[in-house]
Amino acid sequence: MFKNNFAVRRRRARLFADCVGIGYAEALRRLDDARTGAVGHQHGSPDLTFLTREPYSGGRIVNTDFAARLVAAAQSRCRHCLIMLSVDALDDRPTVAAFSGRALGILPKAGRVRESTARWAALARRVYGDREDSAAASAVWEAVEAMDVPQLYGLLDDALTLWAIAGSPPVVIHHGEFGDGWDGGPLYQVTVASREDGGHRVPVLALGHEAGRAGLAHLREVGLPDWDWEGPPVMDPKWELRVSRGSRALEAIVRVDDEGLDDIVLWKAAKLVRLSAGWWDLLDRAQHVEVGGPWAPGAPEAPEKVAVVARVTFR
Ligand SMILES: [Zn+2]
């Protein structure tokens, strides 16, 4: 029994040493520390059962309870649990694939991640963009199978960072219909997101193409100023995001005229989508939101963008 446990400990320490680029003795010490530090920890268990429906795992079984523990540890920023669970995760590639695909597939650009993660994210985006594309789905899973252990650990680590930031997976609100609306105005999909700005987090709504006239030219036409996605966009009190306190959902993005009347209704919710508690708190604290685009999950990165800081009206 003891011998067996020791073999397991040794194997885990070797994997961990390879993954983070430290010596074996140091890895053994850090794992022992983490094991002691994590005793009795419970960090909540978010409902991640939807991961079983994600197309990134090649149809393999996904352990959603395990994924939930990982997310909870990441969101609690508990390094003891994160070390222990991350090393365990190396033996469960389907779960790592589902978990990472959900975080990376939805983003138009992988951002600051490892090179191997960025390559994989491009595959995940293809699958996210078209779930019927079985060749893309095979490719994304085969790429996970082909990763060496440090690459797999890197993928998991990058995905965990995204999950910890987002608090929950990004929410994309689509219209029921495609193309331009009955009044000729383009329909946008909205991605609920946030970004880091000068050490604090700000809420962001990204407007993406649905179809028809939606896009950069139209967003400029309605008066959204150009923006380089670096510092904060300009604030314009004429732009307003309306949200419902009762249902905790987005209602509309509008521009009002000098009399305070609706001038342009840029986006109107076609259905009620309840926002995560984390994003709602962010909005409540900030009382403002960055509205910009074009930016849509799965779409190629647009070279130019527009954005404005809008005020939030709670109703
Ligand atoms: Zn913990």
For 210-251, the pLDDT digits (tens) are 777 888 999 999 999 999 867 789 999 999 999 999 999 999
What pLDDT, on the 0 to 100 scale, is given for residue 113?
A: 85
Tens of pLDDT, residue by residue over 3-45, are 568 888 999 999 999 999 999 999 999 999 999 999 888 887 7
Ligand 1 center from residue 95 Cα (angstroms): 20
Residue 193 pLDDT > 90 = no
Distance between CA 83 and CA 239 in Å, rounded?
45
At 171 the pLDDT is 65
Ligand 1 centroid to Cα of residue 42, in Å, is 7
Tell me the C-alpha to C-alpha distance, in Å, between residue 76 and each of 8, 71, 95, 217: 27, 8, 20, 42
Instruction: Tell how far the Cα of 49 is from the centroid of ligand 1, in angstroms.
Output: 22
Q: What pLDDT does residue 1 have?
A: 43
- CB burial readout 161-189, b (16+ within 10 A) else e: ebbbbbbbbbbbbebeeeebbeeebbbbb
Prior bond to 294 cis, omega within 30?
yes
Collect residues with CB below 5 Å from ion ligand 1: 38, 41, 78, 81
Tens-digit pLDDT profile for residues 69-119: 998 888 777 889 999 999 999 999 999 999 999 888 877 666 678 999 999
- Cβ 126 vs Cβ 91: under 8 Å: no
Rounded to the nearest angstrom, the distance between the alpha carbon of 16 and the centre of ligand 1 is 18
Distance 140 CA to ligand 1 centre (A): 31
Ligand 1 centroid–CA 166 distance in Å is: 19
- Ligand 1 centroid–CA 46 distance in Å is 15
Question: What are the counts of helices (DSSP H) followed by strands (DSSP E) for the chain?
Answer: 10, 9
Distance 38 CA to ligand 1 centre (A): 5
The string of pLDDT tens digits covering residues 121-158 is 999 999 988 888 899 999 999 999 999 999 999 999 99
- pLDDT band at 168; cut points 50, 70, 90: low
Q: How far is the CA of 78 from the centre of ligand 1 (A)?
A: 5
DSSP letter assigned to residue 174: -
Give the burial class of 208: count Cβ atoms within 10 A of its Cβ; 0-12 exposed, 13-18 middle, 19 or more buried. Answer: buried
pLDDT at 84: 94
Q: Are 114 and 158 in contact (CB under 8 A)?
A: yes
